[in-house]
């Protein structure tokens, strides 16, 4: 029987809400996807073992969650995707923002986040060279 936590229902709620926000973030360029998916996995580990197992077994996001849980690592592909998405969002902001300072401020925040992402380690992958 899984260990019961006092606030299991709250963790369950956070897991599903953050999963929903992460899924919405796939189509909305200014809403981050990955942090919400990582939060969902963290909360699911405490509130819903079934959701946690499902997230880890998903071929698209499971490896990303596992890399983050093991060593705080982000794959190079994910780094490029994040940088490209932020660049696209910044361009949209400069084209559509009614006040230039909104675009400048949001772009500055995205630049800081992008820098932090690129400073994260990359996951250790098994070498394909036999020793």
How does pLDDT run across 59-104, given as a tens digit for each residue? 988 998 999 988 999 999 989 988 998 899 899 999 999 999 999 9
Burial class (CB in 10 A: 0-12, 13-18, 19+), 22: buried
Quote the CA–CA distance of 125 and 127 in Å, as a whole number. Answer: 6
Quote the CA–CA distance of 12 and 35 in Å, as a whole number. Answer: 17
Q: Distance of CA 38 to CAs 42, 47, 102, Å?
A: 6, 14, 28
Quote the CA–CA distance of 109 and 55 in Å, as a whole number. Answer: 29
pTM: 0.73
Quote the CA–CA distance of 127 and 108 in Å, as a whole number. Answer: 37
Quote the CA–CA distance of 40 and 65 in Å, as a whole number. Answer: 10
Quote the pLDDT of residue 4: 59
Helices (H), 3-99: 8-27, 34-47, 49-57, 62-71, 76-96
């Amino acid at each position: 029987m899984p260990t019961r936590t006092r606030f299991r229902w709250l963790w369950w709620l956070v897991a599903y809400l953050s999963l929903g926000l992460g899924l919405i973030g796939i189509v909305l360029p200014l809403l981050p996807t990955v942090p919400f998916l990582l939060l969902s996995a963290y909360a699911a580990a405490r509130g819903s073992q079934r959701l946690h197992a499902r997230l880890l077994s998903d071929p698209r996001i499971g490896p990303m969650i596992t890399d983050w849980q093991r060593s705080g690592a982000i794959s190079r592909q994910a780094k490029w995707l994040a940088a490209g998405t932020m660049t696209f969002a910044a361009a949209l902001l400069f084209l559509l923002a009614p006040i230039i300072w909104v675009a400048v401020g949001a772009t500055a925040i995205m630049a800081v986040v992008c820098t932090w992402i690129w400073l994260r380690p990359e996951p250790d992958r098994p070498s394909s060279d036999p020793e």
